[in-house]
């Protein structure tokens, strides 16, 4: 049995974005227990030159939506990058999950040899679909999801490997 481009992308994105939403729930509970405003988390950074939590979540969502959209040859929804609260971030995650789930598997499967154009500041690059998914989209997605996890954990939210991996059944 082979693994399809759809099964290697959409379920991965929806699962991890679901976990990300759960981490925000734990962060909110942590802030309430410690009696501080959750907005403190929004600007949290691991280093001065790194992007804050809000941007990490925005980029993770963008990686998922643009990854699936480019493979399927459809337009991704436009998000304003104006999230200013946990509720806003949860909504962005929800909209991203809704979009990637809405793309039919048939539109993503069979795109492994497709030329995918990736716009970049220094000029567009063209990658084959499988390479694009395995070596660009997924690593970028996991980088930003993991950084969001690390930011919350660094700021006292009780998260562990089980929160990252989720139930394995």
pLDDT tens for each residue of 75-101: 999 999 999 999 999 999 999 999 999
| Other residues' Cβ atoms within 10 Å of the Cβ of residue 166 | 12
Write the CB contacts of 126 (distance below 8 Å, at least 6 apart in sequence).
115, 116, 117, 118
Write the CB contacts of 6 (distance below 8 Å, at least 6 apart in sequence).
105, 108, 109
* pLDDT tens per residue across span 13-54: 999 999 999 999 999 999 999 999 999 999 999 999 999 999
**Domain 10-159 class?**
mainly alpha
Distance CA 152, CA 28 (A): 10
Q: String of b and e for 117-149 (b: at least 16 CB within 10 Å)?
A: eeeeeeeeeebebbebbbebbbebbeebbebbb
Confidence of residue 1 (pLDDT cuts 50, 70, 90): low
- Give Cα 64 distance to the centre of its chain: 6
């Amino acid at each position: 049995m082979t693994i399809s481009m759809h099964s290697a992308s959409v379920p991965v994105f929806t699962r991890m974005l679901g976990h990300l939403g759960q981490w925000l729930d734990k962060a909110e509970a942590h802030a309430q227990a410690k009696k501080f405003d959750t907005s403190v988390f929004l600007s949290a950074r691991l280093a001065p030159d790194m992007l804050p939590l809000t941007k990490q979540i925005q980029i993770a969502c963008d990686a998922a939506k643009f990854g699936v959209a480019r493979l399927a040859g459809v337009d991704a929804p436009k998000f304003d990058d104006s999230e200013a609260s946990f509720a806003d971030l949860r909504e962005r995650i929800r909209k991203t999950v809704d979009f990637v789930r809405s793309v039919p598997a048939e539109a993503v499967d069979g795109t492994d040899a497709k030329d995918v154009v990736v716009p970049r500041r220094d000029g567009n690059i063209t990658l084959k679909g499988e390479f694009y998914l395995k070596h660009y989209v997924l690593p970028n997605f996991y980088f930003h999801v993991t950084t969001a996890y690390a930011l919350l954990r660094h700021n006292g939210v009780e998260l562990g490997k089980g929160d990252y991996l989720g139930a394995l059944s």
